[in-house]
A and B are shown apart, each in its own frame.
Chain A
Amino acid sequence: MANNTVTVSGERGSAASPIQSTRKRWWRWLSGDMILAFLVLLPSIIAVAIFIYGFIGWTFYISMSDWKSSIPDFTFVGLKNWTRLVNDRRFQMDMRNHLFYAIGFIGQCIVIGFTLATLLDQKIKGEGLFRTLFIFPFAVSGIVTGVTWQWLMQPSTGINLIFAKLGMGWFRPTWHANIEYGIWAVSIAAAWQFSGYVMALYLAGLRGIPAELREAAAIDGAGTWALYRYIIIPLLMPVTFTVFVLTGMNSIRIFDVVAALGGPGPGNSIDSLALNMFQTTFGAYRFSLGAAIGSVMMFLAIFLVVPYLMSMQRETER
């Protein structure tokens, strides 16, 4: 088993080393083209600098000011809004909700997406039909997803009615209305919409793995489990990386589904930062507090996701 690992990573390693050398060669030969590459990227850099980092900076600046009515007030008040925010019960619930939601959503997307892709990769009759059906929800907007699942997750009807018909009447969850676990139900609705797309990404990744590699593994006597554990899953790391970024993004920005499911929910049980920010800003005209919530979303991305992205990217390239 250990041999397999060495062989595979050895192969990948030998494929990777020429990249390093080519990079150096190109730098020497084509430094003019290297400048050209930068120039081609420059408009995007400027656009991102203004529309993304400029706006982040603007938002952060507002969060330190005293704008709390419809009259803009840019008096600097330091961390006043931030102190208020961290002591706010709704905000504390939001952080808990995002943690649970992220675990549930990312987990479901990766597990369901990978499983279905693997199954569909077994020369299935009617693969096209299954694939179309699986990815269909991705075409449906978040609001519609939320509204539909709000019906499906009614305790007295919807899915519970099906459970009852199947003789499982004892199983009657309250879904998104549950004050403790409601947020997990939200992640089910959201994963319904997104997991099909993840399946498609994994399937494309699987199809990109050369048949020779699988054959070689089979000759080495590797079983199905070993094949996946030591060859396929590591080779799919770049796909997993992309999936993680996409689902992580969704976990931080989740808004539509929560709003349509009746967010913030009893006791803010299914609230999200984006919904909180939107209501705080435009529902209560607390612009500075809303900006602080928006900044928190960005910091979450920067402090939690970026280090992970970087390590993951390094691993992908090794």
Chain B
Amino acid sequence: MSVQRLWTRGAIYLVLVAFALYYAMPIYVLIITGLKPYKDVSMLRMWELPQGLYFDSFTTAWGLVSPNFRTSVMITIPAALISSMIGSINGYVFAKWRFRGADTLFILFLVGMFLPYQGILIPLVLTLQKLSLYGTLAGLILTHCIFGIPITALLFRGYYASIPNELMDAGKIDGCGFFGLYRHILLPISMPAFAVVLLWQFTTIWNDYLIGLVVLSNPVQAPVMVAVKNTAGSFSVDWNVQMSAALIAAAPTVIVYLLLGKLFMRGLLAGALKG
């Protein structure tokens, strides 16, 4: 039995390591390409380690993307926080206050997730102009919050639906109303859900390219992903610089994941869920 167990464990680790390689392989290419000087970058020699370490491309890339990096921070943090809060309260309503037609409304919200952004750029710009929000950070934050309504509602609704109604009933008996139940019962145990939703929204908004570009009306003030792409010329690409820029641009989402990731996993085990 224990021999069989040993084999099973071994097999499990083998599979995990294989997948670790699968996930790491493109990242490896990204990093070593960023460390090569321009003339050594070639598709045909992509696996070869650089001959020495060249951080020039990172310096160059940082010089190119840093202003837009700042813009992205200023958009992403408020947009992710606000849209998570909206999602939380919407998810609460959809999960626990199913007024007549709420489920249909929820499905109608979900359809919005499939909206192709490439096709709605012109109405979006015209609408924001009418609201005097075109070309402003506020306008872009609003846009991200609105387009985030469906996904955040979906994720929070799923989480709140798993919370036993007995808890709600107990709160009811203690005299809590609509906001009281949310404030005292659900919000304190919502952190895992917030982690999931924040991670999603942060990544989506940070990686957004098109909406930020068009709503802010000018590549100069556009989000960092536009700057990453702008490290390329029209007939040739400095791959080392672009890869470095891509890594710099990916850094915040990676940091956020590292910080929230544990919370995201650990959170579901903790607290009132079991109890």
Query: Could you tell me which A residues sit within 8 Å of B by CB distance?
Result: 15, 18-19, 22-23, 26, 29-30, 33-34, 36-38, 40-41, 44-45, 47-48, 50-56, 58-59, 112, 115-116, 119-120, 122, 124, 128, 130-145, 147-149, 151-152, 154, 156-159, 161-162, 192, 196-197, 200-201, 203-204, 207-208, 210, 238-239, 241-242, 245-246, 248-249, 252-253, 255-256, 273-274, 277-278, 281, 287, 290-291, 293-294, 297-298, 300-302, 305-306, 309-310, 313, 317
Contact = CB atoms under 8 A, between A and B. Distances in A.
Contact of B225 (A138, A143, A158): A143
B23 A136 contact: yes
Given A44-B90, A51-B146, A207 B269 contact: yes
Most buried by B among A51, A130, A300: A51
Interface string B200-233: 1001000101000000000000000100110000
Interface string B142-163: 0100110111011100100110
Given A30-B178, A116-B19, A119-B15, A48 B108 contact: yes
Q: Is chain B's interface secondary structure helix, strand, loop, or mixed overall?
A: helix
A238 B111 contact: no
Given A148-B29, A157-B47, A274-B116, 15 more contacts: A18-B166, A19-B165, A48-B150, A50-B127, A115-B15, A135-B257, A140-B30, A141-B250, A143-B228, A157-B44, A200-B264, A207-B269, A245-B154, A273-B116, A306-B111
Contact of B113 (A55, A203, A249): A249
B3 interface: no
Contacts of B47: 157, 161-162
Given A138-B257, A141-B246, A302 B111 contact: yes
Contacts of A157: 43-47
B250 A144 contact: yes
A26 B170 CA distance: 13
